[in-house]
Amino acid sequence: MRILVISQTGDFLGVASRLVYEGHSVSMWIKERAYARSGRGIVNRVDSWRSGLRDTDLVLVDMVGMGNIERVLRTVQRPFIGASPAMDRLELERAEGMRIFAEHGIVCPETHAFPDPQSARSSFAEGPGFEPVCIKADDNIGCATSRLIMDREQLDWAFAQYPSGTPLIVQKIVEGVEVSTEGWFNGTEWIRPFNHTFEEKRLMDGGLGPQTGCMGNVVVACEGCRLTKATVERLKPFLVRIGWRGPVDVNCIVNEEGAFALEATARFGYDAIEALLEGIRLPVGDFFREIAAGTMKEMPVTNEFCISVRLAVPPYPAEDDDIEAEYGEPILGINENNIGHLWPCNVMIEDDLFKTSGADGLTLKATARAEDLQLARRRVYRTLDNIRVGSKMYRRDIGLRVSDDLEKLRGWGWCK
């Protein structure tokens, strides 16, 4: 199968490499120049996603923000996943996402929308009291721009960190279990089962350090439960209306009183997609082809715990365009025994060696699965411990909170 991946920063490279190993012909266009070396020797890097489009069997768009491509893909009648203006709005326009949630009966925390940081600052300066809040900007402008503010004294500083004119929302913080609930849609119906993701976003063990977007997660399949019915399942009319085929995820805080939707992931989730594919009992190419064609009704996924952990090198998680990770260092320890559980990121193959390719320092992800969560953890960390590259870093506590969180969710009646 001839597959084209359209990407902003190469997020899908690990999955693209798996498609190559399955024998598919994979071409990849990456928009951002900082990632010019990523994937060299692994996939066919192309300078234009339009060239050869009509000869492509499947198109995969790996990130929101490229919804304008949808019209072109429908015009040339290529099967695709991703590229939806409506899904762009759901994730990137924070107030619009909250409106869509509310329109479909999905409960959200108390949320206030502002056209710019100055308006938000003025509103909170005049408020009579203060409760902890989370500030989120439109367009996902950097992983570190979602800020938890626990004290009023931090507010002025926090609002000053956003560019003038940036729309944002301010949400009241709700205490509980953080969990994402994902469903895959075939254009008309949900593909069973759903899945829950338990993610760690900060750089260091214990939830310390800067936000990274993701440092690792655990994914578990779910046939359907009170939590799916209160969140992602309610988006079905919206997804039918836009003809969506692919994944959508609702990130929530859940407690005994309710499930409170924080935001949507209206695309492949990183690194949930790698963890999920660890448990899919079907070649990855066949899986995506059936999703794009709208023919899949049941997802052939294991009931095991599936875990994914990121390995990075400095300057990760820095996002300064003027800073680039060192490149060209050999990555040793990748072999035929573990390659099926590794997903390269900013990596290239040169002189028959996997090497770092620079950019932001995110190097690879390792995955594992097992019926026992602790066994899955041992497997993934054994793989990571055997990878040899200078200054490597990864969290050692991915998955530790999952058993307790699942026990709470089941005790409150949200999960089976």
Domain boundary among 120, 148, 172: 172
Q: What is the mean pLDDT of residues 404-409?
A: 98
Nearest CA-CA partner of 365 in 270, 300, 282? 270
> Would you say 113 and 98 are in contact if contact means Cβ atoms under 8 Å apart?
yes
Q: Is residue 93 part of a domain?
A: no
The CATH number that applies at residue 249 is 3.30.470.20
Predicted pLDDT at 182: 98
Same domain, 38 and 144: no
> Maximum distance among all alpha carbons in the chain?
65
Residue 101's pLDDT band, with cuts at 50, 70 and 90, is: very high
Q: What is the mean pLDDT of residues 65-70?
A: 96
Compute the distance between CA of residue 116 and CA of residue 219 in angstroms, rounded to an integer: 36
Predicted pLDDT at 320: 65
Same domain, 120 and 231: no
Long-range CB contacts (< 8 A, 24+ apart) of 163-167? 164/116, 164/117, 164/118, 165/115, 165/116, 166/116, 166/117, 166/137, 166/138, 166/141, 167/93, 167/94, 167/95, 167/113, 167/114, 167/115, 167/116, 167/137, 167/138
Same domain, 142 and 219: no
The CATH number that applies at residue 74 is 3.40.50.720
Domain boundary among 53, 88, 123: 88
Q: Is residue 103 part of a domain?
A: no
Alpha helices in 258-331 (DSSP H): 272-279, 284-293
Predicted pLDDT at 407: 97
Predicted pLDDT at 124: 80
Same domain, 163 and 183: no
Same domain, 115 and 215: no
Q: Is residue 102 part of a domain?
A: no
Query: Using one digit for the tens of pLDDT, what is the confidence trace for 219-231?
Result: 999 998 999 999 9
Q: Is residue 104 part of a domain?
A: no
Q: What is the mean pLDDT of residues 183-192?
A: 98
Q: What is the mean pLDDT of residues 410-415?
A: 96
372: left (phi over 0), alpha (psi -120 to 50) or beta: beta
Q: Is residue 124 part of a domain?
A: yes
Q: What is the mean pLDDT of residues 353-361?
A: 94
Amino acid at 318: A
Predicted pLDDT at 189: 98
Q: What is the mean pLDDT of residues 92-106?
A: 97
Same domain, 50 and 118: no
Number of structural domains in the chain? 3
Same domain, 147 and 191: no
Predicted pLDDT at 152: 84
Query: Using one digit for the tens of pLDDT, what is the confidence trace for 287-341?
Result: 999 999 999 999 999 999 999 999 999 999 987 666 677 789 999 999 999 999 9
Same domain, 147 and 195: no
Residue 165, class by beta-carbon neighbours within 10 Å (0-12 exposed, 13-18 middle, 19+ buried)?
Answer: exposed
Amino acid at 406: L
> Does the pLDDT at position 133 exceed 60?
yes
The CATH number that applies at residue 123 is 3.30.1490.20
| Structural domain of 135 | 110-172
Domain boundary among 120, 147, 172: 172
Query: Using one digit for the tens of pLDDT, what is the confidence trace for 211-266?
Result: 898 999 999 999 989 999 999 999 999 999 999 999 999 999 999 999 999 999 99
Same domain, 186 and 313: yes
Same domain, 235 and 379: yes
Nearest CA-CA partner of 221 in 294, 308, 279, 289? 279
Predicted pLDDT at 146: 81
> Does the pLDDT at position 143 exceed 70?
no
Place of tokens 């600052």: 121
Q: Is residue 416 part of a domain?
A: no
pTM for the model stands at 0.95
Same domain, 165 and 36: no
In degrees, rounded to 5, the angle at the alpha carbon of residue 255 between the alpha carbons of residues 251 and 256 is: 145
Q: What is the mean pLDDT of residues 172-185?
A: 97
Predicted pLDDT at 322: 67
> Does the pLDDT at position 144 exceed 60?
no
pLDDT above 90 as % of the chain: 85
Q: Is residue 97 part of a domain?
A: no
Same domain, 184 and 161: no
Q: What is the mean pLDDT of residues 7-27?
A: 97
> Would you say 42 and 16 are in contact if contact means Cβ atoms under 8 Å apart?
yes
Compute the distance between CA of residue 2 and CA of residue 24 in angstroms, rounded to an integer: 6
Residue 402's pLDDT band, with cuts at 50, 70 and 90, is: very high
Q: What is the mean pLDDT of residues 38-48?
A: 97
- The mean of the pLDDT values for the chain is 94
Predicted pLDDT at 52: 81
Q: Is residue 96 part of a domain?
A: no
Per-residue three-class SS string for 327-356? EEEECECCCCCCHHHEEECCEEEECCEEEE
> Does the pLDDT at position 377 exceed 80?
yes
